[in-house]
Amino acid sequence: MTDDLKKSNSKGDLLIPIILGVIIVILLFLGCTFYFLSNSTSRIVSKVVNSLYDDYKSKSDSMIQFDFESNPYVIDGDIVIDTNISGLEELKNDKLKFRMGLDYENEKLLSSFSFIEYSNPLVSLVYYYVDSNCYVKIDDYDKLVKTQDEFSFDEIFNSDSSKKEDLDYVIYEFKNIFLDSLDNNSFKKSSDTIEINGKKESVSKLSYRLSEENVKNLNENISKGILSNDKLLEKLSNLTQKDIEHLKNILGSIDNMTYEDSGEISFYVQSSNKLRMIEYSNDDTVMSAIFDDGIEKVSVKNGLYETDFTINSFNKEVIDIDYVINYGTPISGSILLTNEEIGEDKFQYSTDFSINLLTYSLSVKGNYVIESVDNIFDLDTSNYVDIENLDVNELNTIMENISDKIKNSNLVKILNNFAGGMNSMM
C-alpha cells in the first residue's frame, strides 16, 4: 500500500513540471502572437491614422464655435502694413478699418470699409443688404444708392454647409473607409534611423507604394465605401451643395479613370507606435511632416528648392508658424494668430504675417473684435436713388470729392511712384 502511494506521488511529482512547462510554452506562444498582432503593419497603421484623427478632433473641438444661425454677429477690425522697403515706409501711417455683420435669421448683411491716414478718415464705403435689397452709402452723398445686385441669401449663407457636425462626420467616416480600403499586404516594414532636431531616432518605417494598381484599388474601394453609406452621401451633399445623384455619378466614374505610379508614402513610428514622421516622395519631390504632440514641422523639397514650415503652437489661443522658402534666395517669415475671450460671446483676435527677403522686411498686422449683438444695423431706406437713375453730374461730383481727399495721400504717392517706375522701364 505504501509502495503504491509512493509510486503515485512520484508520478504526480513528474506531472507538475510537465504541466507547468506546457503552460509556460502556451503563454509564450500567446505572448508572441499578441506582440506580433499588436505590432503588425495593419495594426500600426490603424493606430497612427486614428491618433492623427484624435489629434485633429481634439483641436477642432477646442476651437471657438460661433452660432451664426441663431445670433447676429459683427466683426470690427483694422489692418496696418509696416515695411522698410524704400518708397513704402509711409504705409505704416495708413490703416484700413472695416466692420462686417451677419444676421442670418433676419437676412441682413453689412460691409463697411474706410481708409484712414494719420488718424484722419480719407474715404469710406458701406454696403447694406436688407429686405432683399442692396444699398451702398458713399462719402459726401446724402442718399443711399440702391444697386441691382440680385442673389439668394440662403444660397450664399446656407446653414447646412457650415455645420460642424456634418464635417466631423464626413472626416470620421473617410478615416474609417480609408483604413478599410488599404491593402495591408502592400506595406513594407523595415527598421530605419531618422534625424529630428539634430537627434537621431530609431524607428520602424512602414512604406506604401502608390503604384498604378494600388492607387486604382484604393480609389475604387474608397468610392465603393462612400456609395454604400447613405448618411455619408447626405452629409457630403450638404457640405458640397451638390445633389446626391451628382455625387454618385462622380464616384461611379472612378472605375473608368486611368492611373500611374505616384510615388511612395511612408510612416515612421517609434516602438511605442508613436508617429514621428510621414513622408511622401516621388521622382521629383519629397514632402515630410514631423510629429511630436501634434504636427510640428512640414517640409517640401523639389530639386534645389526647399520650403519649411515650423509649427511652434497650434491651439485655440495661439497659432504660431515660422517658414523658410529657399528658391535660390531664402525668404523667411512668420504667421501669428492670437485669440482672447474679452466678454460674453466676445473675442479679440490679432494677426501678424511677416516676410523677410535679404535686407527687406514687410509685415501685415491686424486686430479684430467679433461679438454677438442684438442688431447689426438700423437703416432708413426711404431716401435712396436707383443706381440706374443716378445723375451723371452727381456721380462726377462724388468722384471729384473722393479724388480731392486722397490725391495727397501716401497711398496715391506710392502708386504714382510705382507707375512712374514702370513707365521708365518700358
- Local confidence pLDDT in tens for the 426 residues of the chain: 445 544 444 444 544 544 444 444 444 444 433 333 345 677 777 888 888 888 888 877 777 777 777 889 999 999 999 989 887 888 888 889 999 999 988 889 999 999 888 878 888 889 999 888 899 998 878 889 888 666 666 665 655 445 778 888 888 998 888 888 888 778 888 899 988 878 898 998 988 888 888 888 888 888 999 999 999 999 888 888 789 999 888 888 887 788 787 888 898 988 777 888 889 998 888 998 888 777 788 888 887 789 999 989 888 889 999 999 998 889 999 999 999 999 888 999 999 999 999 999 999 999 999 999 999 999 998 888 888 887 888 778 888 888 877 777 777 777 776 655 445 444
Q: Which residues, at least 6 apart from 26, have a Cβ–Cβ distance to it below 8 Å?
A: none
Distance, CA of 145 to CA of 149 (rounded, Å): 12
Cα end-to-end span (Å), the chain:
123
Residue located via cell numbers 502694413: 81
Whether 140 contacts 398, CB under 8 Å: yes
Q: What is the pLDDT of residues 161-187, one digit of tens each?
A: 457 788 888 889 988 888 888 887 788
Beta bridge partners of 372: 73
Q: What is the rounded (10 degree) CA torsion for 159, 160, 161, 164? A: 100
**Cα(397)–Cα(140) distance, rounded to whole angstroms?**
9
Task: Rounding to the nearest 10 degrees, give the CA dihedral for residues 377, 383, 385, 390.
Answer: -110
Could you say which DSSP state residue 185 is in?
G
132, 151, 388, 389 from 385: Cα distances, Å: 16, 20, 8, 7
Q: Name the pTM for this structure.
A: 0.76
Q: Which three cell numbers stand for residue 407?
A: 490725391
Dihedral sign, Cα of residue 13, residue 14, residue 19, residue 25: positive
- pLDDT tens for each residue of 307-361: 999 989 888 889 999 999 998 889 999 999 999 999 888 999 999 999 999 999 9
**Which residue(s) pair with 281 in the sheet?**
264, 286
| 362, three cell numbers | 514687410
Least Cα distance to 311 among 324, 300, 297 occurs for 297
What are the start-end ranges of the H helices in 39-91? 41-62
Say if residues 122 and 97 touch (Cβ distance below 8 Å): no
Grid look-up 494668430 returns 337
Distances 418 to 354, 411, 421 between C-alpha atoms, Å:
22, 11, 5
Helix or strand or coil: residue 251?
Answer: helix
CA dihedral sign of residues 6, 8, 11, 13: negative
What are the start-end ranges of the H helices in 330-391? none
CA-wise closest residue to 93 among 115, 124, 66, 61? 115
